[in-house]
Structure 1
């Protein structure tokens, strides 16, 4: 769309829903939100610790001073290209240092970031960028044989608001390196691009993994993200100058917060991994004296196995926070025994409520058996009617705290998800104990209702995970002609394993007979989101198709 001067006519920017004042009042009253953005902190660190490493990747180390200078220059170039405070800048980047530069540049210029994991393709990109009304998009030219630049061009043709597609580690004037160089060439090096930013303003729109349907746009402010990073970093004992390994995608809430923003909140250094490799992780931990990480559970299993095989105990490594999917207690116990000092533990949270629990690093038993100590959140466990349940009773987990999202991009979705008291309905089932630990027992929608009886998929999965031939597993509901729903287990096996052996293993565990899967399906790998969550919607659809095909009448 062009205006009379031949320039692109500007589409209206996205307006964000107002947050009910009652939801914010307690946190404002108690002064729980930080009054600084990461730009404020980055400016201080660039002066006080200019030569200390902030971000490390395959290309080397980026110091606090270099990060600040590059981000200022990029902010100036984005402003010169017509972006104004409040515009949305999306990026679909791997774990590269440029993501940190871009994120900080957006805060300096008052822009809203929209991280998108690199696994998404045209259809998902159109939905997310369209809903956010993104004004600019940064992509690699080609990454893992996917031509992201061409995909971005296709998507841009359908989105009038998407005025700019920029590349990273490419060539030409629209590449991030060229934008930084142009900004550095300004008389003030880009310093004038910095604007005053309200920490309470929307900082990020992040789309959920979509395990149950259409992705929802989660809105966070500078204050909510700063709160969870500061609180979790302090709880885990992180100190300025210490290194944290980040193999999780920086376009997911965990990698974004603990990878891109943790250095500017806690003064730490992030060691980025472009892709996970346990042997490479061992080398990076040793080389940089890494003290901990936040990553998916399979990474913990593989790192522990690699450490044993190499005879490495990783003496600097203190913690491994894992979550995103059900974690069997034995996984935590076995991993702990592989390291000299590392305390692996389970954590619980989501994009909407990052880190409701921070783990239990100082108690091996609770670290293995629970999903950690509730910190910084008020938590309710409720029944189907919304009535509070006492400790020890299973129900849906509701959480409210100063790190929770300020809402969804869709007001109707926010109204469904947050109750009148400001509690977010997580959709997870769990139990709280008297010590303040929470244990997630499953997803509310994962319940298998077999002949009127509720069956927890997580409970069965934890038993199956103990079988030596099971490398990974997921239990879902399947259609059942008589009972409505039956129990189906998808298995990723180590070698050959018979269904009868797996059924006998579940029976021997002491679980009720109704919980023994009626069907076992062996597959090469479980479908997962970028955050490591199993795509159970895909598995349910898959088994439903299989059963439907089996029940078709024979031809002729």
Structure 2
């Protein structure tokens, strides 16, 4: 695969001179852990269908990483080839990520919620050589789905099924003993290490490219700000196929030589039991995870005093949740803002969490800068709202095959598409989004893609998809629809249609509103702000 990381070259010299890009990879830290503390727990993986967790020391993890790396090489994966894996939080996810680095391949984790519609695009666009799926997860047959997709995946060399029983099972293909020794260097620090798709406003996902240097510059600054150390036990419950899970719950523990504890299916009561059993001290996820933990303790579960630090990203933290978490859990909630393109850009320090997390989304990590500008690109006065621009060490390497969408100007500023304010101390507050994306429970909903699909329904004349407030998830999704004369369209029709188009169910709107017409400007452009205002009543009514 030929990558075009065009955003790297201007930063190579200044970032390395500043010590922000240290030319490390995650394999550097894995080998250090094996040398210095081989018997320390590296991964403890709880699966919803297993009575006991899988426990791997750093020595055991390294041995499995080596076997998987050799298995990938034997399956035809070469340098800068893309390996796509659609797995829940499990030890195999962590080991695959590390194995890709060891052979110079590019890790491409994709969310378990995706179905054929999203996956066909992603695997073909990234020219994936290997596709790894569970046999069954949460009642869905991933093996059957993946086998049905094979005729439309010309670049694919190998399907691998975790828990499978055939010749393409994970155990036979990637954990077999008859694999050749590795030859050649591992991944370089300025080579593309991660390809992660993000939903945007273009109607198709964009492939975000990161290198080890862009990722580790963020990790080092994040660890410093959050005051994390080697003794952490980190709960990995947020999906690892998101950048949050991948960087801060899978990579960060290895970088610290700490321990990560994985939970594949979120259940707050079970999470509390795991936290107590394993001595968890830290995690990062969206706010619904914390709200659910509070609810479980309030319902009678024992509290968790050692688990006293949590970083929330994906949406602003309601101030009431900050007070509730402190009172019920003894936990400090640190707010953060970031994107797949940057990782966490701003974070509120634990020492100021009670004071600032409810009114800000943090201030820039070391190596990152923010700027708030008006429509003309001029910086606005402190406290005024404007477009949020960012630049610095953890900025991505570019969008795969779409450099024209990179959104970076000649001075290195990236247009986030978000609207924000900044105070005199440098703390930002996201006040809106110019991007047409709804964030539900920390998950970006690709509004334009859903609209484009609904427009293809024969009964629909006009459609607009917007978010409305929800106390637990932050936002839910409503589709406003005008139907053609003589036609009808119900909520059940919408669900059946999106199912027939093989769309991830988590992208389905929760509400359907039929209207004779939708508000427009004199030029005919839909006025979505009016629909968002109308939709707020749905959240108030819940």
**Under TM normalisation by the shorter chain, which class is it?**
0.7 to 0.9
Any idea what SS the aligned residue of 2:328 has? coil
Q: How does 1:44-443 map to 2 (within 5 A)?
A: 44-58=32-46, 59-183=53-177, 185=178, 192-193=182-183, 195-210=185-200, 213-310=203-300, 312-340=302-330, 342-363=331-352, 364-376=354-366, 377-415=368-406, 417-443=407-433
Distance 1:67 1:164 in 2: 23
Flag the 1:98–1:311 CA change in 2: closer, same or farther, 3 A: closer
Deviation, structure 1 residue 267 = 1.1
Any idea what SS the aligned residue of 2:418 has? strand
2:516 paired residue among 548, 551, 556: 548
Distance 2:247 2:299 in 1: 32
CA contact (8 A) 1:75 1:194 kept: no
CA contact (8 A) 1:17 1:411 kept: no
CA contact (8 A) 2:68 2:96 kept: yes
Any idea what SS the aligned residue of 2:72 has? helix
CA contact (8 A) 2:287 2:317 kept: yes
Unaligned runs of 5+ in 2: 47-52, 448-463, 473-490, 492-497, 499-505, 520-542
Flag the 1:199–1:45 CA change in 2: closer, same or farther, 3 A: same
CA contact (8 A) 1:333 1:368 kept: no
1:372-394 alpha-carbon deviations (Å, 9 max, x no partner): 12212111101111111122111
CA contact (8 A) 1:73 1:179 kept: no
CA contact (8 A) 1:361 1:367 kept: no
If asked which structure has higher relative contact order (CA below 8 Å, sep 6+), I would say: 2
Deviation, structure 1 residue 195 = 2.2
Flag the 1:20–1:286 CA change in 2: closer, same or farther, 3 A: closer
Any idea what SS the aligned residue of 1:137 has? strand
Any idea what SS the aligned residue of 1:90 has? strand
Tell me what 2:529 maps to: none
Distance 2:253 2:169 in 1: 25
- CA root-mean-square deviation: 3.1
Deviation, structure 1 residue 491 = 6.0
Flag the 1:85–1:323 CA change in 2: closer, same or farther, 3 A: same
Deviation, structure 1 residue 282 = 1.0
Tell me what 2:495 maps to: none
Deviation, structure 1 residue 286 = 1.1
Any idea what SS the aligned residue of 1:287 has? helix
Flag the 1:34–1:175 CA change in 2: closer, same or farther, 3 A: farther
1:303-332 alpha-carbon deviations (Å, 9 max, x no partner): 112123326332111211112123322222
Flag the 1:181–1:121 CA change in 2: closer, same or farther, 3 A: closer
Deviation, structure 1 residue 221 = 0.2
Flag the 1:17–1:353 CA change in 2: closer, same or farther, 3 A: closer
CA contact (8 A) 1:70 1:180 kept: no
Any idea what SS the aligned residue of 2:295 has? helix
Deviation, structure 1 residue 236 = 1.5
Distance 2:237 2:197 in 1: 20
Flag the 1:548–1:493 CA change in 2: closer, same or farther, 3 A: farther
CA contact (8 A) 2:389 2:416 kept: yes
Deviation, structure 1 residue 37 = 0.9
* 1:33 correspondence with 2:21: yes
Q: Which has the larger radius of gyration?
A: 1
Unaligned runs of 5+ in 1: 1-12, 448-456, 462-473, 477-485, 495-520, 522-526, 528-533, 552-556
User: Number of paired residues?
Assistant: 462
Distance 2:175 2:110 in 1: 25
